[in-house]
A and B are shown apart, each in its own frame.
Chain A
Amino acid sequence: MTAYLWIIPLLPALGAAVNGLLGKRFSKTAVNTIALGSTALSFLWALKTAFAFLANGSQPILEQYGVWLRAGDFSVPFALYVDQLSMVMLLVVTGVGFLIHIYSVGYMAHEGGYYRFFAYLNLFMFFMLTLVLANNYLLMFVGWEGVGLASYLLIGFYFLRDSAANAGKKAFITNRVGDFGFLIALFLLIKHFGSLQYTEVFHAVAQRFPTPEVNPGVLTAIALLMMVGAAGKSAQIPLYVWLPDAMEGPTPVSALIHAATMVTAGVYMVARSNAIFSRAPEALAVVAVIGAVTAIFAATIGITQTDIKRVLAYSTVSQLGYMFLAAGVAAYSAAIFHLMTHAFFKALLFLGAGSVIHALGGEQDMRNMGGLRKKIPVTFWVITIATFTIAGFPPLAGFFSKDEILWQAYNSQHGHWSLWLVGIITAFITSFYMFRLWFMTFFGEYRGPKASNDAHGGHDAHGHGEPHESPWVMLAPLVVLAVLSVVGGWVGIPHALGGENHFHRFLAPVMPAISTRASAEQVQHVSPAPARHGVSGEEEGDANKERLFAGISTLVALAGFGLAWFLYSKRRDLPQKISDKLGLVYSTVLNKYYIDELYYNAIIHPLVQGSTKVLWRGVDAGIIDGTVNNAAIGAKHASDNARHMQSGNIRSYAGWVATGAALVLVYMIWMGTR
C-alpha cells in the first residue's frame, strides 16, 4: 500500500510558493484559502496516514523517491519514513500548525505583509514536516536548516524595527553554532558507519557496540556533537539566548515555532538517535545535566520578567530543559510525551497571551494589565486551563508528562535523586511564575491607561478603547487547544495511577525499554529478563513510590499557586519589598544573570573587534589589498623613473648603447681573465 507521504510536506510548500510569489495581488480571502487549505489538507492526509499506519499493525512506512547523492559506497536517498515517533511528531506539527494558522487569520488581520506572513508560515510547515518525515540525517538536516530560515524570517517579520531584525540575526547565528556540531556529528557517522539512513546507522551501531560496556568513544563524540546541535535548535544552555529575543516575532509565530514545534526538533533528534545516545552513558549524563540546569535556570529568570511573552519564552526554555532531562535519563518516550503535551499547552498559552495583547492593543507588559478576567472571559478561561496544566495539576495533561519525567529522573537506570530534586524545585518555580502571570494579568484592577492609543511592542494599535474580546476565529483554536491540554495527557497515565500508559507502549517499538535502577541491578546479579507484567513485591513498591512522587509534585504545584496567590493577590505590596531586600540577587536575575552581557563581552565583542581591526583593517585592507595596491604603485613609480630614459634625444640613446656595449665588453674580459 502506498501512503503518498510526499503529499504531506509538499502541500505547504506549494502554498508557500503560490502565496509568496503571487500573494501580493491576492485578496485576503484568497491568501487564507491557500494557506489554510494546504495546511488543512496536509493535516487530513497525516490523519489518514495515521489511521492506515495503525490499521496496518504499526508497520513503519518507508517510501523512496530516488537517490539524492551517491559517492562510492555512500548514498543518500530522497526517502520519507513514518514510524511511531514520526507519527506523533507529524500529528502534533500538522495539528497544532493548522490551529495556529486559523488563529493567525484573526491575529494578523490588521497587519501589513499579510501574504508574506502566511507564505513564511507555510514554508515553515514544509521544512518542519521534511525534518520529521526524513528517513536519513541529511534530509533531516535540510529540514533542520529550513526551519531555522523560516524562524529567522518570521522573527524579523517586523523588519523595520531594529530590535526585530537583530533578534532574527541572533537566532540565526546562534543556531549556526549548534548546526556546526550537528554537521560534524554527521561527518563522524559517515566516517564510522558509512551511512546516514536511520535504520542502517542504528543497525551498524548495534553491531559495533552490542553492549554498553564497550568503550563507546566515537559514540560519545557523536552524541555530544548532536547534543550541541540540539542545544542550539532547542534553546538549551549555553545556546538558549536567542529564544527570549525571538519573541520579537508576531505572537502566532512564537506559539508555532518557538514553543510548539521547531524548538522541539532537538528533542526529536535526540529521541530519534536513542540507539546512539543509549550506548553512550557519559553523553546521556551530559544531556540530563544540561536539561536539568537549563530547566531551573530559565525558570528563575521567568520569575522576574514582566513582559508576558518573555515569561512564556523562559518557561519554554525551562520546559525544553525538562524534555532533555527525560532524554538524558534514557526516558525518551517521556520526553516525547512532554513534547506533545507541551505543544498543546504552551501553544495555548502563547495564543492566549496573543489574545490578551490583541485585547489591549499591543500592550505586553503585565504591570499594565490586571483585572482582565471579566473583560475577556474566554481568553481568561483557556489561559486558566493552560496555567493549571503547565503547573502540573492532575488530571490535566502537563501533570502526567511532567510527573513521568520526574519519576524517570529518579527511577531510571541513568537517573539520580539530584536530577529529581532539581526537577521538583523547577516544578515549584514553574507553578509560581505561571500563577504570578495569571494573577497579574487577570486579577486585581485594570492598571493600563483607560483609552489607550499608544502602540507598545509588536501588535499594531488599531484604535483600541476598552479591552475587548478577540474574534471567534482566534478563540476557536484556543478552545480546541484547551481541550487537548486537558485530555492530551490521558493517553499516558502510568500504571501506578491506574492507567495503561498507552503512549509509552505505542512508542515502545522505536524506543529502548527504560531499565529502572532496580532492574539494572537485577540484570547484573540474577537474571537478564525481569518479568514485566507480573506484580512482584518490588514492582508494587515501585508503584507506591511513584504514587508518592506524584503526590509530592501535586503538592509542589499547589505550593507555587499558594505563594503566587499570597504575593500577587493578597499582599501585593510584598513583591516590591522582597525585590528591594534582595537587591543584587534580584537585579542579577532580572537581568537574566547578565548572560547576554557576558556573551557580548566574552565572544561577540572580541569577535567583532577582531574582525574589524585584525581581519578587515589588518588582513583584508592591509595585507590583501595592500599587496595588490603596493604592487601597482611600485610599478607606477618604477616606470615613472624609467620613463625619463626615453628622452627622444638620439645621442643619449647612442650613449646608452655604447655604455651597454662597454659593460658587456668589461664583463667578457673579466670572465676571460678569471
Chain B
Amino acid sequence: MVPLALYLVLSAFLFACGVCGFLIKRNIISIFMSIELMLNAVNLTFVAYAAFWQKLSGHIFVFFVMVVAAAEAAVGLAIIIAIFRTRETLNVDRVNLLKL
C-alpha cells in the first residue's frame, strides 16, 4: 500500500508544475495545458483522500471536476481557434486589445 503522503507530494509537485507553466508560458495552448495539469493534480488529491478514508464523495467530486474540465476544454479550444484565426498568433502578450 502506497502511503497517502506520497500521493500528496506528487499532487503538490504536479500542481506547482501547473502554476509555474501557467506563469511562464506564453503560448495559449501551453497555458491551457498547465491549467489542465493543475486540475488533475487536485483530482489526484481527491482520489487519494477518498481511498484513504474509504469514502465515495471524493470520487464523485473528481467526476464533477472532469466534466467541468471537459466543457472548459471544448470552449477554451474554440476560443483559441477563433483567436488564432483573427490574430494569427498564440502569444498571450500579443492578445491585448482591451488593454489601455
A654: Cβ under 8 A from any B Cβ: yes
| B binding-site residues for A, Cβ under 8 Å | 19, 22-23, 92-93, 96, 99-100
13 contacts across the A-B interface (CB closer than 8 A): A648-B96, A648-B99, A648-B100, A649-B93, A650-B92, A651-B22, A651-B23, A651-B92, A654-B22, A654-B23, A655-B23, A658-B19, A658-B23
- Please name the 3 residue pairs, one residue from A and one from B, whose CB atoms are nearest each other, closest first: A648-B99, A658-B19, A655-B23
A615-674 at interface with B (beta carbon < 8 Å): 648-651, 654-655, 658
Interface size class of A (residues with CB under 8 A): under 10
User: Secondary structure at chain A's binding surface: helix, strand, loop or mixed?
Assistant: helix
Query: Within the complex, what minimum Cβ distance (angstroms) separates A652 from chain B?
Result: 9
User: Secondary structure at chain B's binding surface: helix, strand, loop or mixed?
Assistant: helix
Q: Which residues of B contact A651 (CB under 8 A)?
A: 22-23, 92
Closest chain A residue, CB of each to CB of B99: A648
Closest chain A residue, CB of each to CB of B12: A665
Bound CA–CA A196/B92 (angstroms): 87
Q: Which residues of B contact A655 (CB under 8 A)?
A: 23
| A binding-site residues for B, Cβ under 8 Å | 648-651, 654-655, 658
Closest chain B residue, CB of each to CB of A648: B99
Q: Which among B19, B22, B96, B99 has the highest number of chain A CB atoms within 10 Å?
A: B19
Q: Which residues of A contact B19 (CB under 8 A)?
A: 658
Closest chain A residue, CB of each to CB of B25: A651
Bound CA–CA A217/B99 (angstroms): 83
Closest chain B residue, CB of each to CB of A647: B99
Bound CA–CA A651/B96 (angstroms): 12
Bound CA–CA A658/B19 (angstroms): 7
Bound CA–CA A651/B92 (angstroms): 9
Query: Within the complex, what minimum Cβ distance (angstroms) separates A263 from chain B?
Result: 77
Bound CA–CA A649/B92 (angstroms): 10
Q: Which among A651, A654, A655, A658 has the highest number of chain B CB atoms within 10 Å?
A: A651
Q: Which residues of A contact B92 (CB under 8 A)?
A: 650-651
Bound CA–CA A658/B34 (angstroms): 14
Bound CA–CA A650/B25 (angstroms): 12
Bound CA–CA A47/B96 (angstroms): 99
Query: Within the complex, what minimum Cβ distance (angstroms) separates B34 from chain A?
Result: 10
With A648-B96, A650-B92, A655-B23 given, name 10 new contacts (CB 8 A): A648-B99, A648-B100, A649-B93, A651-B22, A651-B23, A651-B92, A654-B22, A654-B23, A658-B19, A658-B23
Bound CA–CA A545/B100 (angstroms): 108
Q: Which residues of B contact A648 (CB under 8 A)?
A: 96, 99-100
Bound CA–CA A649/B98 (angstroms): 12
Bound CA–CA A650/B19 (angstroms): 13
Query: Within the complex, what minimum Cβ distance (angstroms) separates B61 from chain A?
Result: 19
Bound CA–CA A651/B99 (angstroms): 14
Bound CA–CA A590/B19 (angstroms): 95
